[in-house]
Amino acid sequence: MNTFLILILSLPIAYLTVASFYQLVLALASRRYKSPKLGKKSKGRTLILVPAYREDAVILSSTEVNLKRIPQDNSCDYLVLADQLQAQTVAKLRAMGAEVLEVKFEKSTKVKSLKAGMDFKAGKGDYWHTVILDADNILDRNFISTALQYRALGYRVLQGERLASNTRNAMEILDGLSEKANQELLCKGANQLGLSSKLTGSAMVLDFDLFKLVLRMLKAIGGFDKEMELILTAMGETIQYAPELKVWDEKVSSTQAFAKQRGRWLESQYTFLRKSIQPATRGLFRGNKDYFHKSIQLALPPRVLAPAALLLFLGISILLSFNFLVGLAGVSFVALMASYFIVLPTGLWKRHFTQILLALPGLVLAAIQSLGWMKKSKKEFLHTAHQFQKS
């Protein structure tokens, strides 16, 4: 009986151990990350695409700010892809100086909006690259000029840094910390190890022709960024993290929104893992370690549930006196938490420590609830509503 229980417990603990030490390696690598030395700028034109699905609450405010922060020399076109926006919102956007393409689909997805935008712009401008933003995103004043400097160095795919625009409550702070951890581990850490950064769905800059090619292959209902990562790395393209490309992004403010959003992300993550693992393994034997890394990265456990699961298995192992598993789970938990202490800004979590600690049980419960949203997100796009935050 004991042997059977040890076997049952060993499998999930081993999985979490591998994930924990993988994350620790990325955390340590991220501390040695250095951005490329930037110099001259390329002179290409920029197309900014902003899919906006029922985002009347934020799109006017974000567009007003962003239009002031892009070059005023006609080298940059700002196109809002208006999916079910109100007529008065569309009129106000055009009055501001933004281009607006109204789109309507039987089942809306971000990919469909982006395809419509690229088709609309086909042959209408000699664009050098495309910038993809979410409707709530606010550009840093130097975003476009810095992107042109990166592009001059030959980078074809860039992922910028997304900063939290709102830290009013514990949920927003925790979501911001989660985003920061992702960027340090899966962007900086991966790049430092010679592998591609992750994509985050916005604050992305891609070579125009490359994006046009990849976009034709995208079919995702949710998680188009994950599908794009796999396609790009399968093609041999490298994704470069560019922390100087800053965008302010609204974080979820409630556990309900967190559960819904994470359910959508998890469904796409594990769906693309199943689809990619076999071709990625074949690619590894042909020398494409980047594509394989992107695929197995999708096997990572949910960030919030991993430490909770390790503590649970640690407690069970202690009760059953399985000393080896106690040691394994304990060391893995320490490694996992160490990775967070390495990459997260000390000042932020210390300043809000009590607030964060009290919110953690609700966050874990929301992460469990997110598993229930996974099935629904297979069939329809689960939209996360935003409210404009000044940056």
Do residues 200 and 344 share a domain? no
The answer to whether residue 263 is domain-embedded is no
Do residues 226 and 329 share a domain? no
Do residues 279 and 231 share a domain? no
- 254, 280, 301 — which closes off a domain? 254
DSSP bridge pairs for 42: none
Measured in whole angstroms, how far is the alpha carbon of residue 119 from the centre of its chain? 25
Task: Give residue 379's pLDDT.
Answer: 56
Q: Which amino acid is at 43?
A: K
Do residues 114 and 202 share a domain? yes
d(CA 390, CA 64): 11
Do residues 111 and 136 share a domain? yes
Could you write out the three-class secondary structure of the chain?
CHHHHHHHHHHHHHHHHHHHHHHHHHHHHHCCCCCCCCCCCCCCEEEEEEEEECCHHHHHHHHHHHHHHCCCCCCEEEEEEEECCCHHHHHHHHHHCCEEEEECCCCCCHHHHHHHHHHHHCCCCCEEEEEECCCCCEECCCHHHHHHHHHHCCCCEEEEEEEECCCCCHHHHHHHHHHHHHHHHHHHHHHHCCCCCCCCCCCEEEEHHHHHHHHHHCCCCCCHHHHHHHHHHHCCCCCEEEEEEEEEECCCCCHHHHHHHHHHHHHHHHHHHHHHHHHHHHHHHCCCHHHHHHHHHCCCCCCCHHHHHHHHHHHHHHHCCCHHHHHHHHHHHHHHHHHHHHHCCHHHHHHCHHHHHHHHHHHHHHHHHHHHHHHHHCCCCCCCCCCCCCC
The answer to whether residue 223 is domain-embedded is yes
Q: How many residues does the chain have?
A: 391
Do residues 189 and 243 share a domain? yes
Do residues 58 and 118 share a domain? yes
Q: How many domains does the chain have?
A: 2
Residue 172, phi then psi, degrees to nearest 5: -65, -40
- pLDDT category, 259, cuts 50, 70, 90? confident
Do residues 49 and 125 share a domain? yes
Do residues 177 and 82 share a domain? yes
User: What are the tens digits of pLDDT across the range 49-103?
Assistant: 999 999 998 999 999 999 999 998 889 999 999 999 999 999 999 999 999 999 9
191, pLDDT greater than 80: yes
d(CA 130, CA 51): 13
302, pLDDT greater than 60: yes
The answer to whether residue 327 is domain-embedded is yes
- 199, 223, 254 — which closes off a domain? 254
Encoding tokens for residue 233? 């790395």
| Rounded to 5°, angle at Cα 131 from 387 and 87 | 45
d(CA 297, CA 22): 10
The answer to whether residue 39 is domain-embedded is no
d(CA 89, CA 86): 5
Provide the mean pLDDT of the chain.
Answer: 89
The answer to whether residue 213 is domain-embedded is yes
Do residues 278 and 250 share a domain? no
Higher pLDDT, 354 or 134: 134
The answer to whether residue 37 is domain-embedded is no
The answer to whether residue 266 is domain-embedded is no
Do residues 171 and 234 share a domain? yes
389, pLDDT greater than 50: no
The answer to whether residue 330 is domain-embedded is yes
User: Which structural domain range is residue 151 located in?
Assistant: 45-254
The CATH number of the domain where 149 resides is what?
A: 3.90.550.10
257, pLDDT greater than 80: no
Do residues 16 and 63 share a domain? no
User: What are the tens digits of pLDDT across the range 116-173?
Assistant: 999 999 888 889 999 999 999 999 999 999 999 999 999 999 999 999 887 778 778 8
d(CA 349, CA 283): 41
